[in-house]
Amino acid sequence: MFKKEVTVYSPATVANMVCGFDILGFALDGPYDRLTIRLTTERGVSIRNFDDFNLPVEPEQNVIGGALLAMLQVLEEGIGFEVDSTKIIKPGSGIGSSAASAAGAVVAANFLLNNRFSKLELVGFAMYGEKVASGVKHADNIAPAIYGGVTLIRSTDPLDIISIPSPRLFVTVLHPLIEVKTSSAREILKKEIPLKDAAVQWGNVAGLIAGLMKNDYELIGRSLVDIIIEPVRSILIPGYYEVKNCGLAAGALGGGISGSGPSVFMLSRDIETAKKVELAIISEYRKVGIAFETHVSEINYQGIKIVIH
């Protein structure tokens, strides 16, 4: 017997985690999108939006649709999905809005199908949603949304996802209300980089993984350094270094650009520091003159939450 309807809360995520361009990401407790999915007996996907973002409802043009249509490819006849989507995570914020939709949809659908797919398979389906959003089937927001915690995407082909244990970490996010298209943020990157810079970067990646797994906050902080992507992409974020420096001064371990921006995140070892960092950033960013939002959250170790009706 299948359950006929389920609701999930699908969280925002931070991709790249400073030095881990394209390979690391983690999930936040909030903000999150809400999706309610019903099984139908007619092959296909129908989508209703309960928000003001005017996202397309044609499944081929919708992130949720892209993900669920990929799943339908391997399902028998007589199965379809109706989706009610209430998006809270603003599209284009750089904290995994499209991933929350795509990952939430496949996790909810899988629940209705009695969990016949593995998490790894769900990531594979949800990546088709990312393709609708940005043209690229990347997994660095999808994987942490589905697995929770810090996740490593060692390889996307074949897909190889590894959960990285970590100590408790608290996240302060600044979202400047400007648009940075993922595609533009990719285009401005240099296609070639110096080998010696790459070696510095993989030293920091190695240090970050070791720091997370050793619960060594100091090492985590020292390793949160990006000499490749940050110098280029930060140009698209007004006041970037001022925000980062005031976050560090307020006690954050480190931080950087969330995904391809414009959001900026800082990591702290406790909630009090994360809130101090938020206050410092608010005060600093007011000087920049761009509207913004902030969020404070613990890293979400559970991933997407399923609510049974």
> Does residue 59 bind its own copies (CB under 8 A)?
no
Chain centre to alpha carbon of residue 126:
12
Q: Is 254 in the site for its own copies (CB under 8 A)?
A: no
CB 189 within 8 A of CB 174: no
**Rounded least distance, CB 191 to its own copies, Å:** 6
Is 227 exposed, middle or buried (CB count within 10 Å of its CB: 0-12, 13-18, 19+)?
Answer: middle
Dist. CA 176–CA 85, nearest whole Å:
24
Of 176, 179, 9, 15, which Cα lies nearest the Cα of 95? 15
User: CA-CA distance, 57 to 174, in Å (whole number)?
Assistant: 29
The residue (of 74 and 162) whose beta carbon lies closer to its own copies is 162
Q: Can you tell me the distance from the alpha carbon of 133 to that of 225, in angstroms, rounded to the nearest whole number?
A: 28
Member of 188, 198, 291, 307 binding its own copies (CB under 8 A): 198
Of the pair 24, 296, the CB lying nearest its own copies is at 24
Of the candidates 258, 300, 275, 272, the one whose C-alpha atom is nearest the C-alpha of residue 32 is 300
Asked about 156 being catalytic, the answer comes back as no
Angle, in degrees to the nearest 10, between helices 271-286 and 240-249: 140
Q: Which listed residue (136, 213, 288, 290) binds its own copies by CB under 8 A?
A: 213
Tokens of 127: 């990546």
Judged by CB under 8 A, the stretch of 5-13, 67-75, 150-158, 271-279 that binds its own copies is 150-158
Residue selected from 6, 14, 24, 132 as contacting its own copies according to rule CB under 8 A = 24
**Minimum distance of its own copies from residue 13's CB (angstroms):** 17
Q: Examine residue 205 and tell whether it contacts its own copies (CB under 8 A).
A: yes
Does position 19 interact with its own copies (CB under 8 A)? The reply is yes
195 forms part of the interface with its own copies (CB under 8 A): yes
- For residue 136, count CB atoms less than 10 angstroms from its CB and return exposed for 0-12, middle for 13-18, buried for 19 or more: middle
What are the tokens at 67? 């993900």
Q: What is the CA radius of gyration of the chain?
A: 19
Q: Which of 156, 182, 278, 284 is catalytic?
A: 182
Return the range that interacts with its own copies (CB under 8 A); candidates 81-89, 118-126, 204-212, 271-279.
Answer: 204-212
Kindly identify the residues of this chain, within the stretch 219-238, that bind its own copies according to CB under 8 A: 219, 222-223, 228
Q: In this structure, are strands 170-176 and 264-268 parallel, antiparallel, or unpaired?
A: antiparallel
Active site residue 130: yes
Which is closer to its own copies, CB of 62 or CB of 234?
234
**Tokens 């609708």 label which residue?**
132
Q: Which residues of 28-60 are buried (b: 16+ CB within 10 A; e: fewer)?
A: bbebbbbbbbbbeeeeebbbebeeeeebebebe
Which region among 17-25, 36-44, 114-122, 261-269 touches its own copies (by CB under 8 A)? 17-25
Residue from 56, 78, 203, 231 touching its own copies (CB under 8 A): that is 203
Contacting its own copies (CB under 8 A), which of 135, 190, 231, 249?
Answer: 190
Candidates 130, 230, 278, 284; catalytic one: 130
Is it true that the peptide bond before 59 is cis, omega within 30 degrees of 0?
Answer: no
Decide if residue 139 touches its own copies (CB under 8 A). no
- The one segment of 65-73, 118-126, 207-215, 283-291 that binds its own copies by CB under 8 A: 207-215
Task: Write out the residues near its own copies by the rule CB under 8 A.
Answer: 19-24, 152-155, 160, 162, 164, 189-195, 198-210, 213-214, 219, 222-223, 228
Kindly list the catalytic residues.
130, 182
